[in-house]
Amino acid sequence: MVYDFKEAARQTRLGIPLIYGVDAVHGHNNVVGATIFPHNIGLGATRDPDLVERIGRFTATEIIATGVRWNFAPCVAVPHDFRWGRTYEGYSQDTQLVAELGAAHVRGLQNANGDRESSYPLSILACPKHFVGDGGTTWGTGRSYDWIIDQWPAADHNWPIDQGITEIDEVTLRAKHLPPYIAAIEAGAKSIMVSFSSWGGLKMHANKYLLTDVLKREIGFDGFLVSDWMAIDQIDRDFYTCVVASINAGLDMVMVPFNFRRFVSTLIRAVEKGDVPLERIDDAVERILTVKYELGLFDEPSRNEHPISYIGAEAHRQVAREAVRKSLVLLKNENHTLPIARDVKKIVVAGQAADDIGLQCGGWTIEWMGKPGTITPGTTLLTAIKGAVSTDTTVDYDPDGRFSETDTVAEIGLVVLSESPYAEGTGDRADLSLPAADVALIERVRPCCRRLVVILFSGRPLIITEHLEKWDAFIAAWLPGTEGQGIADVLFGDFPFTGRLAYSWPKRMDQIPLKSMAESSDGPLFPFGFGLA
């Protein structure tokens, strides 16, 4: 499909090459069989920029194998409210850590070290997102847009915080949310995606001060700005107003998923009427053409020389496995529960997530929202556990934790919990308490084992305070991706726990957002940077 689009572009009058972009936010996650790395929240816990750069490079390798040369990543948001459904796309609540890891990801995607495979480049165009302040929106300020529902029914979402209003002053915006973009630009980023959110009374796509005065002129960004999905339509009920406002604000490329003819005719009319200066069009075109030229698209072969076998390559999966084990954060470990001896007589394992690749990967996996089930090749945690223990060890698995009362009590019980997959505003949740079904599952397993280990797959901290006392060990595994062996590597002591929280872990819902936690008299359940060895 991608090459057909590219060939069509070559056959146009000027033969200007097309640049095709994808949301490969944790590996080439739209492709069945690709290596799925941990989501950014897990990579933040590794605090390892070299690892993140290698992940970026291998992601680029797999993307290029499908003919794609542009990735809408990394997300360099600095989330402050865990109720936000995109929390897991942010590396951390800490601006400096986000800037460091985001820049590393850009270097990896764009192959800053100049690695080559034969004569073929291993470089794609990175696209840090979403400029700027998307992680700082206020709960309750999201809204739906009735005038675009006829084109995109999903616009009738009324998400509480995603795409909402960032209600902070400019000093805070610059200190908290701008540095990751400066770091990404210094690392070589030549495209940036603009945020759906609003600041200063304007939709970001219409904010000329931030897009042009600050980003392009003050900071000196000389690449191009691209809109988010159908985002300019949110500026105003009148589409002509949307086009004029967004282009004059500094938008260079517009993501029009449906009615592109309407956009083209509207922009031409705006230029002819003088509402959009021709100089603004020239500037946008020059920026886009320059980036395409620098990326080598004008000299790209008509067909890919990069083998499709690079998708899901073993070397890539080994790096993903390394990332999984480095991302795990041990939050509790009593009674010498961990590491587990390989020759323990019996282990009981419960929870659907223990043997479900879809739950292990989370959103943005094969489908936009992700979904449970065997959606792509990989190794589940249950498979990894069975492969790690001795031949004399019995591993009993029941997703519902309904083990027979006549069975021998196991030395170790493992309960694997997970959030249901979600992406963007569909994951906005007012209450992050542990679901009643998960609490009941743990209570069923607790009598069946001497020591209980709870492993949580989640895109954010959940409220576990009242239940934690009953657990002997607790591991935050985030959304680890396809390589479940990385968890077993640490469970059984082949590698130590090294992950540290990139987000403070709240005790209660009234400690969310982070400002409320800072004002709380008793502090978080686990502080930023916490992690047992």
417-436 pLDDT, tens digit per residue, is 999 999 999 999 999 999 99
Place of tokens 């008509």: 302
Q: Are 392 and 429 in contact (CB under 8 A)?
A: no
pLDDT beyond 90 at 302: no
Instruction: Write the CB contacts of 381 (distance below 8 Å, at least 6 apart in sequence).
Output: 353, 354, 355, 360, 416, 455, 484, 487, 488
- Give residue limits of the domains in the chain: 19-302, 314-519
Q: What is the CATH number of domain 314-519?
A: 3.40.50.1700
Task: State mean pLDDT over 330-341.
Answer: 97
Residues 27-36, mean pLDDT to the nearest whole number: 98
Q: Is 424 a catalytic residue?
A: yes
pLDDT attached to residue 151: 85
Task: Look up residue 144 and give its two tokens.
Answer: 């739906």
- pLDDT cut 90: percent of the chain above it: 92
Question: What does the pLDDT read at residue 158?
Answer: 85
Residue 9 binned pLDDT confidence (cut-offs 50, 70, 90): very high
* 213 is a catalytic site residue: no
pLDDT at site 285: 98
Residue 118 pLDDT greater than 60, yes or no: no
Task: Name the token pair of 377.
Answer: 């090749």
Nearest-angstrom CA–CA distance, 270 and 277: 9
pLDDT of residue 394: 97
Neighbours of 60 (CB within 10 A): 26
Assign 526 a pLDDT band (cuts: 50, 70, 90).
very high
The answer, yes or no, to whether residue 406 has pLDDT greater than 80, is no
Contact call for residues 432 and 512 (beta carbons, < 8 A): yes
Strands 120-121 and 116-117 turn out to be: antiparallel
Tell me the CATH number of domain 19-302, given options 3.50.50.60, 3.40.50.720, 3.20.20.300, 3.40.50.2000.
Answer: 3.20.20.300
pLDDT of 512 > 80? The answer is: yes
The active-site residue out of 23, 81, 322, 424 is: 424
pLDDT in tens, 149-171: 988 887 788 899 999 999 999 99
The pLDDT value given to residue 305: 64
Catalytic residue, chosen from 89, 100, 228, 472, is: 228
Each residue of 62-104: pLDDT tens digit? 999 999 999 999 999 999 999 999 999 999 999 999 999 999 9
The 3-state secondary structure of 82-100, one letter per residue: CCCCCHHHCCCCCHHHHHH
pLDDT averaged over the chain? 96
Reported confidence tier of residue 116, pLDDT bands at 50, 70, 90: low
DSSP conformation class of 385: H
Mean pLDDT of 355-374: 98
Answer yes or no: pTM beyond 0.85.
yes
Q: What percent of the chain has pLDDT over 70?
A: 98
- On the question of a common fold for 19-302 and 314-519, the answer reads no
User: What are phi and psi for residue 232, nearest 5 degrees?
Assistant: -65, -25
pLDDT at 307: 81
Predicted local confidence at residue 121, as pLDDT? 61
